[in-house]
Structure 1
Amino acid sequence: MARHGSRVREVPTSLSAPVVATATLPVVFGTAPINLAETLENVNKPVIAYSFPEFAKALGYSDDWKRYTLCEMADLAFRQVGVGPVIFVNVLDPTKHKANKEETVAVTNKKGVIETEGVLLDSLVVSNNETQLKKDQDYIASFDEVGKVVIAVLAEGVTVLKVKYDHLTPDVITNNHIIGGYDISTGKSTGLELLNNVFPKFSMVPGLVLAPKFSKDPTVAAVMKAKASSINTYFKAQSLDDVNTMEANSYTKVNEWKNKNNYTGNNEVVCWPLAGLGDKVYHLSSQIACRIMKTAYDNGDFPHESPSNKPLAMTKLLVETAEGHEEIDLSPDQAEMLNNQGITTAINFIGGWRAWGNYTGAYPAITDVKDIFIPVRVTHNWLGNTIILTTWSKVDGPIGKRLIDTIVDTMNMWLNGLQGEGVLIGARVEFREEDNPLTDLISGKIKFRYFVAEPVPAQDIDNILEFDANYYKSLFAME
């Protein structure tokens, strides 16, 4: 058919906007009081929360952080520091990790309280004088503010109740539950294996990986490092691990414990000891993770600045003991010794309590700048993840000048913008002939080379103070 007239035909824009990876998105593995949540279904599933109410609604909340470890991070991130979102993975399964209990409950002013925490409300059976009572007709059962079941009796003259119920047993959760795995028969993943489910579910790339309490086990820490180094085959994240303060209860023992247990990864931040805030006890990995998030947020969501020498939500340092916890002191020179061993800690020196330490666990055995500084390593991960996200849409496109120029121009413009923001000292991307032999090109392979320089933290400022006697000559100066 012959055409007559003037037309406009649109083609894809040569310069595309980069898809930015989430630099510091934390994924936290542990246990939650799922009986207090709206549903019991959030077991071995990544759950995202932007606020404390969202967390409590999805997973429940308890101040018993030893048994319900995810609540520590929820309190710190949402109530103390004010950062988010956070992705949580609860491994406590109410269909498996439970026990049955039967007891009598005294009724006062038509109310009885079950002191046991973790009660699964749907399992509750209430009787009076061997007669089973009907829910919502003879009694109403609900949780109070601390997670205990309150039974409001509607009938008159009831002084004692007999109750039977199932309750959660978080103490049975072991390191193996956190590590998890993949069940071939069901096709389902559990524990740390679910790190690979985060991006497909939320389209967000994990930036930090935590397991408060459990990461002090070397096996858990090793799996965390391995999983964080290869998420969905392509992405990388930083693992934050805690030293066992029961075994390493003084700063002189930490380095030996670290090396003996192989907490030496370049994608690993090794934290010691515990942090206290009033009666609350936090793992330092949680504190450092929230500090990394807050610092990135304060910088426009760019992760290039170190969390070190930034305020923490704490009032004391603690180590674990058989009786509970013991407060310890740490001077700046002792903290510096830990830093030089690749250990992150906290000090109260100038400006209140602050994170202290820039090195990953790889230091001092490794000296490559991209592997030893925490902000450089986190930024390097973020850059790599963003490059993958942005160039993925070009996969399977026809190799030619247009494809190559689009990638080079798009990424160089993005890198130039980062340089202007101070996120990078300098950066560029090149398509080199020597990197792309004809045999690769005709096989569908193309290679781009990225050159980047992140700013390293100014951790050693040397101010030279000298007495200058020449200033005495001013005494003889003529007016």
Structure 2
Amino acid sequence: MPANFLHGVETIELDKGPRPIRGVKTAVIGLVGTAPMLDVDPADRSLNRIRLVANDRDAARYFGQNRAGFTIPSALNAIFDQGNGPICVVVNVLDPASDTTAVADEAKTFDAATGKLTLAHPQVSNVVVKHTAGTPTYVLNTDYTLDAANGTITRKAGGAIASGQSVKVSYSWLDPSKAVNSDIIGAVDGAGNRTGMQAWLNAYQELGFFPKILIAPGFSTVNAVATELNVLAGKLRAIALVDAPIGTTVQQALTGRGPAGAINFNYSSDRLGLCYPHLKVYDSASGAEILEPMSPRLAGRIAATDQDKGYWWSASNQEIKGIVGLELPLTAMINDPASETNLLNEAGIITVFNAFGSGIRTWGNRSAAWPSNTHPRNFINIRRTADVIHESIEYSMLQFLDQPITDALIDAITESVNLFLRTLVMRGALIDGHCGYDKAKNPVTEIALGHLTFDITFMPPPPLERVSFESFIDINLLSQLGGNG
């Protein structure tokens, strides 16, 4: 019955038919670690809360310079080296107010030419400059100026410090080693705030999407951190990448897949990617090669592949950019099952392929679920494609919830999902897919409770991991000899 009386004509708009389903973001990397926050303007500093970083300018603005010992700037640099548009949801856990180490009476001398001295550590606070005799204590901005980010002190002309004078300096410096595994793992504090990697759980409410590739470089070598990454990957429908410790041999990496192993590789999760070995990177600050974990560059490579080709593509056999070599050489032959790269892949470990003329490439399609689980979900790209389909459909159902259950509603839901699946088939993300309504799964008792069940069937294309040729030497082909005569 109409809600009110009308003697006249009206038009009532009704929504009928299917609705478009929008795919969720996939090229989003969740990064947790430590940053030199004294490089950052106080208004842009963050602690245990998410920051959105879309490019190298954001990286410098919110997380500072690439300094030794701090994990976030180097990881962002590694990610953006891989190209095309990843988005990073970053959490810094290092607190400039408390994660410091004190230095007492460090003896330094001002350079006579420049009037400067540089302390043994950057990122300094609570600086006290004294005469070598202990008195007087010099006054900031009267006798000297301070560049706290770089740990540089400059004498002021007309101040009490003489040219070339020696002094004693006491200070505290932001020490990245103060960040412990519990800081990275995080928790919910007494005020209800999520800290560490738990802050990623706030991403949808704040940004409208979750990170889908999770990393904690420099910390994921520890089982406790790797375990929590796996837990969060399940909650966020993401994958997490963990690194073997520096110095791990091939045998130790393989042994680590079992209970007798001494490293963080004893998992069978289809949401964990196991990364080995570390990579050599040229450090312009020191002019030397340093080792960095593989996980940030693999994360960047996965995100770039998502953007360039699609999330249904494997990121294996793709060039890794910005590195000069591997922690240790690995034998890599495309046709040798006994090569070290193949043995690692066979054990469910993602590694690096570097053969003559190949360049340095990611190598490995499978998660830690392999070889204990042979379901196609152990292919990382299939796991991620299924996640995208499930989450995209779930979010799209908000527009149908609480409508009256009718045949029209059932048809609208099934056709909306089928339109989405057909679009994915046309893009190459699926071989085929279908959504249907099975009356047998929807008894009247469930419908009366406002509950409908639909079936979704689909199959993403698996990556071509192995090619076999059967070769025959056929003597019958000799009969063609002499045919010109």
Superposition TM-score tier, normalisation by shorter sequence: 0.7 to 0.9
* In 2, Cα distance between equivalents of 1:402 and 1:130: 86
Aligned to 2:419: 413
Separation in 1, partners of 2:432, 2:445 = 32
Residue 399 (structure 2) pairs with residue 393 (structure 1): yes
Residues 279 and 292 of structure 2 are in contact (CA less than 8 Å); yes or no, is this contact kept in structure 1? yes
Q: Alpha-carbon deviations, 1:338-365, whole Å to 9, x = none?
A: 1111111111125211111111101111
Aligned residues: 453
Trace 1:202-241 onto structure 2 (pairs within 5 A).
202-231=207-236, 236-241=237-242
Q: Give the CA RMSD over aligned residues.
A: 2.3
1:361 aligns with 2:368: yes
Which residue matches 1:170? 176
Partner residue in 2 for 1:72: 74
The Cα shift of 1:19 comes to 2.6
Contact kept, 8 Å, 1:113 with 1:148, in 2: the verdict is no
Residue matched to 1:94:
96
Partner of 2:22: 19
Q: What's the counterpart of residue 336 of structure 2?
A: none
Deviations 1:109-133 (A, max 9, x none): 3532333334245x44456662542
Match of 1:317 in 2: 326
The answer on 1:298 being equivalent to 2:308 is yes
Is it true that 1:141 corresponds to 2:146 in the alignment? Answer: yes
Q: Cα gap change, 1:437/1:117 in structure 2, threshold over 3 Å: closer, same or farther?
A: farther
- How much has 1:43 moved relative to structure 2? 0.8
Residue identity matched to 2:193: K
SS in 1 for 2:370: coil
Q: Quick one: which amino acid aligns to residue 357 of structure 1?
A: G
Aligned letter for 2:315? Answer: P
Contact 1:373/1:456 (<8 A) preserved: yes
Of 190-199 and 78-87, the range deviating more from structure 2: 78-87
1:129-152 CA distance string (max 9 Å, x none): 6254243x5543336xxx523333
Could you say if the C-alpha distance between residues 8 and 351 of structure 1 is closer, same or farther in structure 2, counting changes exceeding 3 Å? farther
Tell me the distance in 2 between the aligned counterparts of 1:384 and 1:378.
10
Q: How does 1:140-289 map to 2 (within 5 A)?
A: 140-142=145-147, 148-156=150-158, 157-160=162-165, 161-183=167-189, 185-231=190-236, 236-246=237-247, 248-249=248-249, 251-260=250-259, 261=264, 262-278=266-282, 279-289=289-299
Q: Determine the C-alpha separation between the residues in 1 that align with 2:81 and 2:345.
A: 29
For the Cα contact (< 8 Å) 2:330–2:341, is it kept in 1?
Answer: no
CA deviations on 1:206-228 (whole Å, 9 max, x unpaired) are 21111112111111111111111
Q: 2:462 aligns to what?
A: 456
User: In the alignment, residue 366 of structure 1 is paired with which amino acid?
Assistant: N
Q: Where does residue 472 of structure 2 map in the other structure?
A: 466
2:394 is paired with a residue of what secondary structure?
A: helix
Alignment check: 8 A CA contact 1:62 1:71 kept: yes
Native 8 Å contact 2:115 2:164 kept in 1 = no
Gaps of 5+ in 1: 319-326
Alpha-carbon spacing, 1:217–1:155, altered in 2? closer, same or farther (3 Å): same
Cα pair distance change 1:83/1:424, threshold 3 Å: same
CA pair 259-384 structure 1, distance change in 2 beyond 3 A = farther
Matching residue of 1:340: 346
In the TM superposition, residue 290 of structure 1 has moved relative to its aligned partner by: 1.4
* Kept after mapping to 1: 8 A contact 2:119/2:152: no
Q: What's the offset of the Cα at 1:428?
A: 1.0
Q: What amino acid does structure 2 have at the position aligned with 1:256? A: T
Q: Secondary structure at the match of 1:258?
A: coil
Q: How many angstroms apart in 2 are the aligned matches of 1:120 and 1:11?
A: 65
Alpha-carbon deviation of 1:254? 1.6
Report the CA distance between 1:283 and its aligned residue.
Answer: 1.3
Q: How does 1:33-72 map to 2 (within 5 A)?
A: 33-39=36-42, 41-64=45-68, 67-72=69-74
Q: Structure 2: 5+ residue runs without aligned partners? A: 283-288, 334-338
Alpha-carbon distance change, 43 to 101 in structure 1, aligned in 2, over 3 angstroms = same
The 8 Å contact of residues 20 and 390 in structure 1, kept in 2 or not, is answered as no
Residue identity opposite 1:37 in structure 2: V
Identity of aligned residues (%): 24
User: Shift in Å at residue 245 of structure 1?
Assistant: 4.1
TM-score normalised by length of structure 2: 0.87
| Deviation of 1:276 (Å) | 1.5
Q: Are the aligned partners of 1:116 and 1:148 in contact in 2 as well (CA < 8 Å)? A: no
1:166 CA drift (Å): 2.6
SS of the residue corresponding to residue 95 of structure 1 reads: coil
Aligned partner of residue 277 in structure 1, secondary structure: strand
What residue identity is the alignment partner of 2:280? Answer: G
Q: Which letter maps to 1:457?
A: P
